[in-house]
Each structure stands twice: as structure tokens, then as C-alpha cells.
């Protein structure tokens, strides 16, 4: 077993924090080092005295390295545990004192009405089936929309596994969905979206529900209308069952908190390894809900990696729309110059269907693109190409070409962007624009920080990032705008190089192109395969990503992903 594997086992087996593990390993390391030093001195017939200063320095260096390594390991291989007693978290319990609980009572009656034998039958038939395939099963076996809602609520209850009370992917269920499902009735042969059960991220407005972005500071902010994305999905036949948990304020609250944590709903855990795998964020609950079979598909948002990262961690498909190609009206923002809607599902065809129904260009954006694109015959890959991706390309008769030095150089320049400078400039104005039309008491960013000051138990990891945005001056906003424009200009140069090479996007497996999201371009991640982690357990699926460099390339991005890994 590797040192990484051993340390991970300790953290998982005993629920130890990184500090506890670091102290333990440091003490053992120091003891071994001291013992070896003493033995060496004895063999040479020397006393300890002359070597003690060097010994102390060496021991301090080792302790520092081990302690730093423990923190890095904790962040890379597991849930970002924090010191202190913020959460009660072990293999059976996941509890934060201020979290609210989902009201399952109305859905319990629906579950009883459908019956456990029918629900177990559905589970067997739905195994590995995406929404499109489940639509066919609905038609074949007569499963109504009420059956589907009962099935997903039953899965949340954890009748045959740990449920949502442990994984905490769902913040709230809307009992009006029961009547909507009853009204929807049978499956529509011509519309797979009819009766589809959907959860939306907790920063997306659902008429009549709180739109709090997971924050107690916005707990009195009840939405008086649907976000545009919700309205369009409803018009297309979908049933909005409720809201998914997230990283509070879409991960723009603090540097110190774990991904997937909100004061309102607690800690979302990874289905791939609740105590060892970081679920990433900020659309954490949206990704986890799909992986745990709580919905047909879910809706998330992305500013820089917030759809693709948790989708990859959960082993599901995640599509980020273009910024201009899908309205963000009704969404609690980070930066409305950058924010985009995203979809998470079990296949490329599912997220493509969700996008085609849920998205329309924002007003006056001028962004329009065809619904479909031809399958590619060539893809450009950046970074190392895993064998599984090579095999998929070969199977699809797709040639792989490596990204030339010019594109690699431009990508590096995009990665050098400073998102914090951009978001500090954009968050305050974006949030205050949203709050002005909110029904809650908070009308300014300063009102939110004041709430946290007065109620620190609702933000146990702090609110340092949000606090930095309150006093940004005109110079800071100009600096942020300049940085954003620089990113867009570099991404435009990447697009010119891609067009010259007759390709539409970059395909990566080892490179993270989250910074491209700052330019508003579409991206998708698709799981490849499972692999063994250092402890010998099954780890999250390896994923590949397709990233375009222009906003009207959603069809091309989907076509590349579908060609590499067709839906079953």
C-alpha cells in the first residue's frame, strides 16, 4: 500500500481530521528520525550535542512537509474536512445543526399508493437507462408521471440504501409536483420531456419556493415567478420536483468551506465515496442527485467549473450552455457577465434534450445556432490521451490530432487568468441587481455580510470571499472588466486556431479548462471508465471534456461527445 493509500485509510476508518492525521504521522516520522540519528551517533561513538541543532532543523522540516502534505491529500482525495465540530459526519451520520430537513410526508403517501413492489420493478428495469430509454419503458409498461415521481421520492428515502438524509443532495421538495404529476398522467409518445422529473439547483427561482442559494441570509426570499429556465422546462412538459443542494452562494462565500456545503441544507456527500471523495461544486447536489437516481435530470449553473467539476466527480454527464445562449434570469448570480445554465444527466442525448427545450438566447444576445451538428471525423486533443479515449475514437472512426504548440501556448495564457479579480468586480453589482427585485429583507451585498456577522453559526466556515466584494471601488471594477476582456480575447484567438485546423473544440482528459467558462463558451464532460484508487477501492469515473472557444458551438460540443461515447 502506498503512503497516500495508508493515510486515506486512516482518515476514512477513524473519521480523523487532517490535523489529527498530520500530528500522528509527524510524531511517528520524528520518532523514527530521532531513533535513526541516535543509532548512527552510537555507532560512531559520538555524543548527541554537536548535531542537535541540525537534528532539530531537520525534524521541523519533516514535520512541516508531512503536515502540508496531509492538508493537500485531504483536499485532493477526500471531503474537505475542517477543524472543529462543524459537522457530525461518519459512515452513518451527516448532520449540521442549522440544516433544514426535506418534508417527505406528502410523498410518503404517494409512495404507499404506488406500492413497493411496483417501485422495485421500476428500479430493476431502469438500471443504467437514461431518460430517453426510461421514456420507452414508460410507454411499454404504462408507468405514469405519478409513478415516476413516487419512484424518485422512494429513492430519496433510501429504501434499499442510504438516502437523502445522509447524502443531502436535495434541499427541498415541492409538494405541488404531486398534483402536476397526476395531471400529466401517461407518457407522451412524441415527447420524452412530458412528465420528466427534474430538480433544479438551489440558486434557481421556482415560483412559490425560497430562492436562497443555500444561505440563511436569503431564507425569507420567496420567488414570485419561475426563472426562465424553469418556465421553459415546465412549458416543455417537465415536472419541477424541487431544489438541489449546492455550495453556498455557488461557491462564492469563503475559501475555507468544503464543496457542497450550505448553511440551509448541510453537506452534500459524494456517491462515489462519501467520506473520501470531494464532491466538488458548486452544482454539487445537482450532480449527486443524478448519480443517486433522484431525478430524470437536473439543472445547475456554472461560472467557472461549477457544472463540469461535480459532474466529473459524480460520474455523470454535465453540459454547460453558452452564456448568451440560455437565459440566466431568476438565478442568484456570482457574476451575470459570466454565469451560465447547465444540465446534468445520464447521457449526452438527455442533456441535449434538456438544453434544446430549456434554453433560448438571452434578449439581444444575437446568439443562435442549429439544433444539431454533424458527427466529427477529427478531434483535437490537449494533453495526455487515455487509452479508453483512443479506443472510443477508433470505434467511431474519428482521427485524433494533438493540439499544436500555438494552441497549447494560448491555453496556458487563459489558465493564467485571475478569476478572483473578475468576480470581485462583478459579484457585488450582480447580486445587488438580483436583490433589488427580491422579496427578502436583504437588498445589498452589505446586508448579507451583516447577517453573517450577526449570525455566525449560519456560516461556520466564514464569508471571506463575499466580504471582499462589498467595498470594491471603481478602479477594482475596471481592473476586473479588463481581466475579463483579456480572457475573451485569448479565447477568440484559440477559436481562430481551431477553425484553421478545421475542428470545433478541444478534447481533454487530464487538463482542466474551467477558465474558458469565463468567456461564456459551452463545455461538456462525459464519464469514460472507472479505475482503482490507491486504497484499492473503485474511484470516481475518469471523464473527458469537450470545450469550445466560441459561444455558438453547443451543437458541435454535443456532437463530439456523442460521437466519442454514444448513448445506449
How far is it, in rounded angstroms, from Cα 71 to Cα 394?
A: 41
Query: pLDDT band at 98, cuts 50/70/90?
Result: very high
Residues 180, 254 contacting (CB under 8 angstroms) = no
Residues 399, 425 contacting (CB under 8 angstroms) = no
Q: Where are the domains of the chain?
A: 3-77, 102-415+493-558
CATH topology for 102-415+493-558 is Amidase signature (AS) enzymes (3.90.1300)
pLDDT value for 202: 99
Which segment of 10-14, 311-315, 430-434 scores lowest on mean pLDDT? 10-14
Instruction: Please give the mean pLDDT across all residues of the chain.
Output: 87
> 44: buried, middle or exposed (CB in 10 Å: 19+, 13-18, 0-12)?
exposed
> 108: buried, middle or exposed (CB in 10 Å: 19+, 13-18, 0-12)?
middle
pLDDT tens digits along 258-299 = 999 999 999 999 999 999 999 999 999 999 999 999 999 999
* Residue 407: HSE in the Cβ half-sphere, 13 Å Cα cutoff: 23
Q: Kindly tell me if the per-residue pLDDT of 410 is higher than 60.
A: yes
Residues 200, 206 contacting (CB under 8 angstroms) = yes
pLDDT value for 29: 60
Query: CA-CA-CA-CA torsion for 399, 405, 407, 411, nearest 10 degrees?
Result: 120
pLDDT value for 539: 47
Alpha-helix residue ranges (DSSP H) falling in 455-553: 464-468, 474-500
pLDDT value for 34: 63
How far is it, in rounded angstroms, from Cα 466 to Cα 340?
A: 20
How far is it, in rounded angstroms, from Cα 156 to Cα 167?
A: 9
Give percent above pLDDT 90 in the chain.
Answer: 76
pTM for the full model? 0.85
Is beta strand 261-262 parallel, antiparallel or unpaired with respect to 239-244? unpaired
Mean pLDDT value of segment 399-424: 96
pLDDT value for 495: 98
Q: What is the CA radius of gyration of the chain?
A: 25
More confident residue, 2 or 346: 346
Q: Which residues pair with 184 in a beta bridge?
A: none
pLDDT value for 372: 77
pLDDT tens digits along 507-564 = 999 788 999 999 999 999 999 865 544 444 444 458 999 999 999 999 999 999 999 9
How far is it, in rounded angstroms, from Cα 168 to Cα 280?
A: 14
Amino acid at each position: 500500500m502506498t503512503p497516500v493509500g495508508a493515510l486515506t485509510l486512516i482518515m476514512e476508518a477513524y473519521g480523523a481530521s487532517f490535523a489529527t492525521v498530520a500530528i500522528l504521522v509527524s510524531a511517528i516520522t520524528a520518532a523514527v528520525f530521532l531513533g535513526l540519528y541516535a543509532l548512527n551517533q552510537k555507532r560512531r561513538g559520538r555524543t548527541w550535542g554537536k548535531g542537535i541543532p541540525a537534528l532539530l532543523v531537520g525534524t521541523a522540516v519533516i514535520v512541516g512537509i508531512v503536515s502540508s502534505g496531509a492538508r493537500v491529500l485531504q483536499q485532493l482525495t477526500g471531503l474537505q474536512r475542517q477543524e472543529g465540530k462543524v459537522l457530525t459526519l461518519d459512515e452513518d451520520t451527516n448532520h449540521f445543526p442549522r440544516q433544514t430537513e426535506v418534508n417527505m410526508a406528502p410523498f410518503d403517501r404517494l409512495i404507499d399508493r404506488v406500492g413497493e413492489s411496483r417501485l422495485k420493478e421500476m428500479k430493476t428495469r431502469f438500471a443504467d437507462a437514461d431518460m430517453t430509454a426510461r421514456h420507452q419503458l414508460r410507454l411499454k409498461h404504462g408507468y405514469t408521471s405519478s409513478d415516476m415521481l413516487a419512484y424518485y421520492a422512494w429513492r430519496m428515502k433510501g429504501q434499499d440504501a442510504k438516502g437523502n438524509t445522509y447524502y443531502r443532495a436535495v434541499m427541498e421538495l415541492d409538494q405541488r409536483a404531486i398534483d402536476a404529476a397526476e395531471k400529466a398522467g401517461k407518457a407522451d409518445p412524441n415527447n420524452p420531456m412530458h412528465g420528466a422529473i427534474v430538480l433544479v439547483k438551489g440558486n434557481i427561482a421556482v415560483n412559490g419556493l425560497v430562492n436562497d442559494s443555500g444561505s440563511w441570509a436569503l431564507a425569507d426570499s420567496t420567488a414570485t415567478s419561475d426563472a426562465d429556465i424553469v418556465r421553459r422546462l415546465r412549458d416543455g412538459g417537465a415536472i419541477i420536483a424541487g431544489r438541489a443542494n449546492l455550495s453556498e452562494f455557488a461557491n462564492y462565500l469563503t475559501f475555507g468551506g468544503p464543496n457542497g456545503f450550505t448553511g440551509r441544507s448541510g453537506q452534500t456527500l459524494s456517491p462515489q465515496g462519501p467520506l473520501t471523495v470531494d464532491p466538488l461544486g458548486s452544482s454539487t447536489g445537482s450532480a449527486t442527485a443524478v448519480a443517486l437516481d433522484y431525478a430524470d435530470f437536473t439543472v445547475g449553473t456554472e461560472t467557472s467549473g461549477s457544472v463540469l467539476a461535480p459532474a466529473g466527480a459524480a460520474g455523470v454527464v454535465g453540459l454547460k450552455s453558452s452564456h448568451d445562449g440560455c437565459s440566466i434570469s431568476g438565478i442568484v448570480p456570482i457574476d451575470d457577465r459570466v454565469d451560465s445554465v447547465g444540465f446534468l444527466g445520464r447521457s449526452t442525448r438527455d442533456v441535449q434534450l434538456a438544453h434544446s427545450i430549456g434554453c433560448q438566447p438571452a434578449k439581444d444576445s444575437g446568439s443562435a445556432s442549429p439544433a444539431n451538428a454533424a458527427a466529427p471525423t477529427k478531434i483535437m486533443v490537449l494533453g495526455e490521451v487515455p487509452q479508453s479515449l483512443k479506443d472510443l475514437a477508433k470505434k467511431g472512426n474519428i482521427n485524433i490530432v494533438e493540439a499544436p504548440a500555438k494552441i497549447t501556448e494560448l491555453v496556458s495564457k487563459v489558465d493564467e487568468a485571475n478569476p478572483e479579480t473578475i468576480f470581485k468586480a462583478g459579484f457585488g453589482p450582480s447580486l445587488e441587481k438580483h436583490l433589488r427585485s427580491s422579496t427578502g429583507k436583504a437588498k445589498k451585498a452589505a446586508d448579507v455580510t451583516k447577517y453573517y456577522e450577526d449570525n455566525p453559526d449560519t456560516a461556520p466556515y466564514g464569508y471571506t470571499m463575499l466580504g471582499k466584494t462589498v467595498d470594491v471601488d471603481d478602479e477594482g471594477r475596471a481592473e476586473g472588466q479588463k481581466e475579463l476582456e483579456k480572457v475573451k480575447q485569448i479565447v477568440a484567438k484559440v477559436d481562430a486556431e481551431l477553425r484553421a485546423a478545421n475542428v470545433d473544440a478541444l478534447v481533454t482528459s487530464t487538463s482542466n479548462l474551467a477558465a474558458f467558462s469565463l468567456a461564456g463558451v459551452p463545455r461538456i464532460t462525459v464519464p469514460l471508465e472507472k479505475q482503482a484508487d490507491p486504497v484499492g477501492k473503485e474511484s470516481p469515473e475518469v471523464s473527458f471534456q469537450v470545450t469550445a472557444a466560441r459561444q455558438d458551438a453547443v451543437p458541435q460540443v454535443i456532437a463530439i461527445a456523442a460521437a466519442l461515447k454514444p448513448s445506449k
